[in-house]
Copies of this chain bind each other. A is one copy, B any other.
Amino acid sequence: MNRTLKRARTQDQKFFRRQQILEAAEQHFDEVGYEAFSMANLAKLAGVVKGTLYLYFKTREEVFLTLYNQSLSRWSETFLGSCKDKMSDRDYVSTLYTTAMADAHFVPLLARLEHVIEHNVSIESLIESKRHFISRVEHLAGAAAPILSLTPSQSLEMVKTMGVLLVGATRTDQGPSLQGEDIPEDVQALMDSFSSEHLFIKNACRIIQGIRTTTG
């Protein structure tokens, strides 16, 4: 944190302070995850007092929504940077999965977006977030069409569907850790059979195949 900045007066300074809070929020999220994330601890980490946070974010969930928007941008850039001109369906979805899982914030926030986050943000922020989402989806779809030999509308449907599948498939990864607990064989076998990677890649390929054989 910048010690010399005691008070933000100009728009630039306010933007800087907001970024300072967001950086602390990322760190706090890394350290404790979604459930244990608290505004009091965020304030300490950011070097401000709790009330100050509410000058820059209306609610706790507006912080999360901002982190989500950032992580969506970050991941989509990383993903597109990892794509080749031509890829097999399998390579494409595998790259998508790997880059998504590599981002510490993207999937956990995406998974809670509609259930929790969107329920406590202003409509303005919600609309802004949806618009941002649209632009990323269109960007991803535009890039995917030539890679996978899909029509534009097929590609758009594909990208939307990948999001749905990603959330569903990564659910099991979000359960409690169970490290050191002794889990009965049958239960352990069940959980192993829900490997998110396998679930996602296999079904993503099936869906792309299905989309490709559709007049879209």
Chain A interface residues (CB < 8 Å from chain B): 34-35, 111-116, 118-119, 123, 126-127, 130-131, 133-134, 160-161, 163-169, 171-176, 178, 181, 183-184, 186-187, 190-191, 193-194, 199, 202-203, 205-207, 209-211
Q: Kindly state the separation between the CA atoms of A191 and B171 in the bound complex, as whole angstroms.
A: 22
Contacts A35-B119, A116-B35, A207-B203 given; does A193 touch B160 at CB 8 Å: yes
A211 to chain B: closest residue by CB: B206
Find out whether the CB atom of B183 lies under 8 angstroms from the CB atom of A114. no
Find out whether the CB atom of B187 lies under 8 angstroms from the CB atom of A131. yes
Give the copy number. Answer: 2
Secondary structure at the A interface, as helix, strand, loop or mixed, is helix
Find out whether the CB atom of A161 lies under 8 angstroms from the CB atom of B199. yes
